[in-house]
Chain A
Amino acid sequence: MQLDLLTSHYNYYAVVVLLGIGLYTLVSSPNLVKKVIGMNVFQTGIFLFFITLAYRRGGNPPVITEGGGPYVSPLPHVLILTAIVVGVSLTAVALALIVRIYSEYGTLDEATLEDLYYD
């Protein structure tokens, strides 16, 4: 029973691991670019969570055919398509800001930046 829970929910474990890695990188990495990558990994964990929700064992693509049987839910896929677009725009804005910060301060290290910033 316990083993069954462990093996049948592996996609949820993947979600938790991704969220953890993302948040950890976001908080602990001193490099701004790595922070943004951590943010991306965190978001990807959430995307995987939604896709997992849509999955049905033995489900078919959501195109109605004769005797099509159980379908995979199309709704979370559509939502995540939107969320991916949002994520890409955020990454683009973040990287643009990082380029500006680098050209102004010549560093991407957070600790050095804080020293310069609060002078």
Chain B
Amino acid sequence: MIEHLPVLLVALPIVGGAVPLVASLFTDRVGWTVATLTMAVHVALSALLGWRVWTTGTVDYAVGGFEIPYGIELVVDGLSAIVVLLIGVVALGVLAYARRAGPRSNATYALYLLLVTGLTGMTVTGDVFNLYVFLEITGLAAYGLVASGREAPAAVAALKYLVIGTVGASLYLLGVGYALAATGTLNMADLATELAAVGYDSTLVLTAFGLMIGGLTVKVALFPLHTWQPDAYANAPDSISALISALVSTVSAYAIGRLLFSVFTVDFFRAVPEARVALLALACVSVVAGSTLAVTQTNVQRMLAYSSVSQFGLVVAGFALATPMAVVGATVHLVGHAVMKGGLFAASGVIERETGATTLGGYAGLGGRVPAGAGSFAVLALGMVGVPPAIGFVGKWFIVVGAVEAGLWPVVVVLLASTLLTLAYFARLVERLYFAEPTIRDEAAVADGGDRPVSLGMTAVVVGAAVLAVALTAAVPAIEQVLLETLPPLLEP
């Protein structure tokens, strides 16, 4: 039983997702319960899997018993174990938020579990085509969930997301085709050796690298491929924004890291330094452009979405630096960003429900009116800026140290400047929350917020996210150890 853990983690949410659909024939109220039970088991199983990776190292699994490299292989190393656990915990946490906040239909929870399936599959797979399939499963579920918003613009945002996302995934598939043409294999470990044998300067290999990484950067929403993201996040229901903002781009960024270290390997970076420079340049542009766009926003949820563009620039920069320090930093920031951004979206949802405020101006003086929501929002926002002891500080610090070790001073300057820009848009919000005169009249707020009360679960989720954003700092040494022990060799500083 225990040796089947990797495949169980993928199969469990699919089966769980089918239950509410069938149950819809009889009752319309079981979706949330089934999803919660499934996710609870998912978290338990991923913790068990994480424990196995911690004690015995990388776990390999041949799906259906087919001989590797002909069959599909699932590989769980330190990086995947961390991300799988993150998926489970965040998805379970958001369910606590969704109990009152909705959406409520059985079909939505079937999609919710399908999204978890896709994300888990992307994380544990060791096969580049299998990664494409799970990428599209994730995409399909995400498009459906974004469209589940009650207002009409949600459908427009979802269609925009679908078209851009499909082009990104298709480019990735084209890249897989080039890799297949060069080597004749799809297994990641096999590709690593075969690509080296073909020669890293071969046109086929270079094109495959460009298309695969380029396709995934669309899904991660790096500038200038981010245009779908603000619309999608701002129009989806609050619980869905929290889930998608926390996980979908995160797992795509994880996939970039996986390709860099397990498929192309750091030897590719040594042989073709231009590829590394190009990726770093894209990441740095994203960091600056994302923050700048965020500063110009007045709608809080759109601002949070643009902030993601910048934060994922940081993560990709960390992966592209590929030194041990930077990769640990990128992983820590990946986990930290998921917790903090999910929490921020949830907190903005709580504040909106209590007061009806959605814009920067509307947040004025709400600190006392919504103590738990505003307090958590402030803690998470400061964590995102990188104020110690929050986890946002540790991730950024490690990435910057990695850049210093690599001697890439322009990157160091960009990373430090980005912290200032992040401070520019978050400090402004926190200042409004606590030190400005209220602008929204109380009567209007009660009329708007009164019929959509904030449940204990919603408050618990935002406070929990704030606590976790600080507490996770204690887990950094463990993350560092499990990464450095199980990841393929990284660049020497």
Contact = CB atoms under 8 A, between A and B. Distances in A.
Nearest to B155: A100
A53 interface: yes
Interface bin, chain A: 20 to 34
A98 B180 contact: no
Contacts of A10: none
Interface in A22-50: 23, 26, 32, 35-36, 39, 42-43, 46, 49-50
Nearest to B231: A117
B163 interface: yes
Contacts of A93: 140, 143-144, 162
A93 B162 CA distance: 9
Contact of A26 (B139, B140, B163, B180): B163
A24 to B, nearest CB: 12
Nearest to B135: A86
Given A86-B133, A90-B136, A100-B155, A49 B177 contact: yes
Contacts of A75: 180, 186
A77 to B, nearest CB: 12
A94 B133 CA distance: 18
Contacts of B177: 46, 49-50, 53, 76
Nearest to A94: B162
A67 B106 CA distance: 56
A39 B177 CA distance: 18
B416 interface: no
A76 B180 contact: yes
B181 interface: yes
Interface residues of B, number: 26
A83 B166 contact: no
B147 A46 contact: no
Contacts of A104: 152, 155
A46 B167 contact: no
A97 B162 contact: yes
Nearest to A102: B155
Interface in B175-200: 177, 180-181, 186
A78 to B, nearest CB: 9
Interface of A: 23, 26, 32, 35-36, 39, 42-43, 46, 49-50, 53, 75-76, 79, 82-83, 86, 89-90, 93-94, 97-98, 100-101, 104-105, 113, 117
9 contacts: A43-B170, A53-B180, A86-B136, A97-B143, A97-B155, A97-B162, A101-B152, A104-B155, A105-B152
